[in-house]
Structure 1
């Protein structure tokens, strides 16, 4: 007897925008109206841009590099996955006010809590070059099994370029955030490539941004705890980390796909300040 094909979970379309199926119809409005605390930290990224890495950096900094304390305090500073999933937002509302909440999310700018856009809480925003995101996103979606069109690389590549891609296109997501909020005091913009090239320097930048100064020894512990190999070794269930490299797009993009993407990229990024920070290989 052969096993039945694994069913596709589909997506949830809310007001014309594609979300993962775990997002309920009421979640976007609920998030936009979230009551933000002054010490809230939002780790904000387009999918597969280094979300979990940035979250681990923040959590380790708040715990001064003490790995045991990171585990101990996890329940008091986090509520699981992205805040747009299921009842995660309600769980955050119930967390203790004694410790900062660390909230991971991929929501577009029109869904981000209004109070954040007014200057409340802090946002660590991580970007990553869109070609590496495409490959990482595709591998992730192969396992999560949302839509049939995401299962083959060529069909995923086509979907990735469309405005109705889940979470929107890389351009439609990232450009409004960077162009309109990069100079806001409660936003820190980093790139995945910067974090790879200067891990320790980015730890220090996040410390300064969060007003959480650490000793040299504590900074080194944070760096040690958040290397790719260390994080991969501690993941017991579904692993959201894969290769953790810059330039993996070369393993999948055909010459034609690369040329086509470059044409779109050059057109969409013309005149954008963000273009100066995007690195496709090191």
Structure 2
């Protein structure tokens, strides 16, 4: 896991900024996508363009609230199993968050570096694409993602809240939330689903059989592990295990990052009209695509 003090320090700082930030002032737009002013700056994005990726970097991409902290933990454990060295990340692990000097400091970090990101494929630094860095992309069904995102905003003290679920849903569908539209993100990444250096995995599949998912990740990154090692990592990486240690690993925000982790929690909030609207949006953007099929929308998102 990321170096606790650095991770917690960064989050505490972002929460402190959030205290003074009204929801209407939470976002700034960079290259057409809204980002939270509490975590990103246009100066950092400009510096990111010149980021120097290494071919053995590991990129973990996902839309917010799809399980990025979960797979970061799993991949850190995979590296530990291979190298017997605890993976340390002296910077906040989300590539596009932090100060513009971050990328200079990252040059000193030992390989492999784990970089998590919520960026669209075409917003990644060119060096990641040029070096064919391996990218693991985690997706979660859009209804549970929206509900998780709403709870994050409205449960975490200091983060600007929405007046209601209905208000959040409207903004989510329009893509007026941090990191923009789920569907734009999905459409953009879907174009690269067959790239040899890109692997897509599904949050719901990990929930169903974590050991199988971990084995697939290990194979993708070229880590050779025994079955016992996979089982050990699996036992340490269940949602419940992560939640129990979340304050230790992520500070006060931990229990909010690992709230429920359930599949189907959307049924508690979605109205019939909202279901129809989301189903229509999915059909319009992803029906008939490889990713649309992989998301198993009928299984996870239809009442």
TM bucket (normalised to shorter chain) is 0.7 to 0.9
Secondary structure (helix, strand or coil) at the match of 1:74 reads: coil
Match of 2:69 among 52, 57, 76: 52
Residue 272 of structure 2: aligned partner: 255
- Contact 2:153 / 2:159 at 8 angstroms: preserved in 1? yes
1:127 maps onto 2:139 in alignment: yes
* 8 Å contact from structure 1 (residues 49, 133) kept in 2: yes
Cα distance, 1:147 vs. partner? Answer: 4.8
- Spell out, residue by residue over 1:38-80, the C-alpha distance to the aligned partner (whole angstroms, 9 max, x if none): 11011110000111111111111111189xx67x4324xx522
Q: List runs of 5+ in structure 1 lacking aligned partners.
A: 1-5
**TM-score scaled to structure 2, two decimals?**
0.82
Deviation at 1:128, TM superposition (A): 0.6
Could you tell me which runs of 5 or more consecutive residues in structure 2 were left unpaired when the two chains were aligned.
Answer: 1-18
1:170 aligns with 2:182: yes
**SS at the partner of 1:195?**
helix
Secondary structure in structure 2 of the residue aligned to 1:26: helix
Does the aligned pair in 1 maintain the 2:51–2:125 contact within 8 Å?
A: yes
Tell me the matched-pair count: 269
Mapping 1:211-226, distance limit 5 Å = 211-226=222-237
Cα root mean square deviation, aligned: 2.2
* Cα separation, 1, equivalents of 2:209 and 2:259: 20
Contact between 1:57 and 1:203, CA under 8 Å: does it hold in 2?
A: yes
SS at match of 2:188: helix
1:246 aligns with 2:263: yes
Q: Which structure features the higher share of helix residues?
A: 2
Change (3 A) 1:110 1:278: same
C-alpha change, 1:144 and 1:189, in structure 2 (3 Å) is farther
Matches within 5 A, 1:1-282: 7-9=20-22, 10-21=26-37, 22-64=39-81, 72-75=86-89, 79-87=91-99, 89-90=102-103, 93-97=106-110, 99-142=111-154, 143=156, 147=160, 150-178=162-190, 180-236=191-247, 237=251, 238-239=253-254, 240-280=257-297, 281=299
Partner in structure 2 of residue 3 of structure 1: none
Per the TM alignment, residue 231 of structure 1 is displaced from its structure 2 partner at its CA by 0.8
The question of whether the paired residues in 2 share the 8 Å contact of 1:28 and 1:111 is answered with no
Tell me the distance in 2 between the aligned counterparts of 1:144 and 1:126. Answer: 27
Q: Distance in 1 between matches of 2:271 and 2:177?
A: 21
Alpha carbons of structure 1 residues 151 and 116: separation in structure 2 relative to 1, 3 Å: farther
After superposition, what is the alpha-carbon deviation per residue over 1:101-155, rounded to whole angstroms, capped at 9, x for unaligned?
Answer: 011111122321212223432111100100000000001112265555x342110
Q: CA deviation at 1:266?
A: 1.4
TM-score (norm 1): 0.87
Q: What is the distance in 2 between the residues matched to 1:208 and 1:108?
A: 24
CA deviation string 1:216-271 (max 9, x = no partner): 11111110111111111111111111111111100110112112211222122233
Partners of 1:127 and 1:275 lie apart in 2 by: 11
1:206 to partner: Cα distance: 0.6
CA distance in 1: counterparts of 2:220 and 2:188, whole angstroms: 21
* Structure 1 partner of 2:15: none
Contact 2:133–2:197 (Cα < 8 Å) also in 1: yes
